[in-house]
Amino acid sequence: MKISIHYIIALVLMVCTLAAHAELAVVVHPSNGTSLSKDDIQRIFLGKNRSFPGGGEAVPVSFLFGSKESEEFSTSVLGKTPKQLKAYWAKMIFTGQGTPPKELDNAGQILDLVSKNPSLIGFVPAGSENGSVKVVGKF
């Protein structure tokens, strides 16, 4: 009986963990034929690479800093806590090396912009993407 209780607790914890981690889809313009690794995406969103691996300018767009989507992306894809990300961009801005991605309010705005511009790359909650964009990774 004791084992069953532990099993139930573990199951509940696992479900809670899965619920807390909302999957994100990284999206590009449908005409963009490049394939991207997590490392490529990381470098583009951290301003270290300004082009896609297959060529062509890469311009990242993001959710507003402090939003749950931004925090999720920062932690699971960029490998930085929101605080570390803020400090990282402070260094980039005040060294003149770069500026953070343009921030948008919601998934609809990101999908709209990415679907119209082959240079853009963004992320949205998995499931909210539509046929106007191409998914290059889910995290």
Partner 1 sequence: MKLTHLLVAIFVSLFTTQVFAADNIKFNGFASVVSGIDLKDENADSDYNSQTFDNLPESRLALQMTAKLEDGVRFIGQAVARGDAEEGFISNYEWAYFDFNVGSSGKLKFGRVRVPFYKYSDYLDVGFAYHWIKPPEAQYAISFRNADGLSYTHNFQMGPLENTLSALYGRYQGNLTIGGQPSPGEIRNLAGLRWLMNAGSNEFYASYWQGDCSIDSSVLTATAGLLAPAGVAAEDVEIEGDLCYFYGGGYKGTFGDFGLHAEAGTIDVEDAAYAAFTGAFVGGTYQMGDYLLHLTYEMTTLDEEEYDTAPGALESTGGEITNIIVGVRKDIGFSSAVKFEVHQYDTSEGYKPANVAAAAHSSDDEYSATIVKVAFDTMF
Binding residues for partner 1 (CB under 8 A): 48-51, 65-66, 82-83, 86-87, 90-91, 93-97, 99, 102
Please, which residue, 1 or 94, has the CB nearer to partner 1?
94
Interacting residues of 30 by C-beta distance below 8 A, sequence separation 6+:
115, 132, 133, 134
Instruction: Please report how close the Cβ of residue 32 comes to partner 1 at its closest, in angstroms.
Output: 16
| Surface-to-core class of residue 37, CB atoms within 10 Å of its CB (0-12 exposed, 13-18 middle, 19+ buried) | exposed
Q: How far apart are CA 80 and CA 83, in angstroms?
A: 8
| C-alpha R_g of the chain | 17
Please, which residue, 6 or 50, has the CB nearer to partner 1?
50
Instruction: Please report how close the Cβ of residue 72 comes to partner 1 at its closest, in angstroms.
Output: 16
Instruction: Please report how close the Cβ of residue 102 comes to partner 1 at its closest, in angstroms.
Output: 8
Look up residue 51 and give its amino acid.
Answer: S
Please, which residue, 77 or 126, has the CB nearer to partner 1?
77
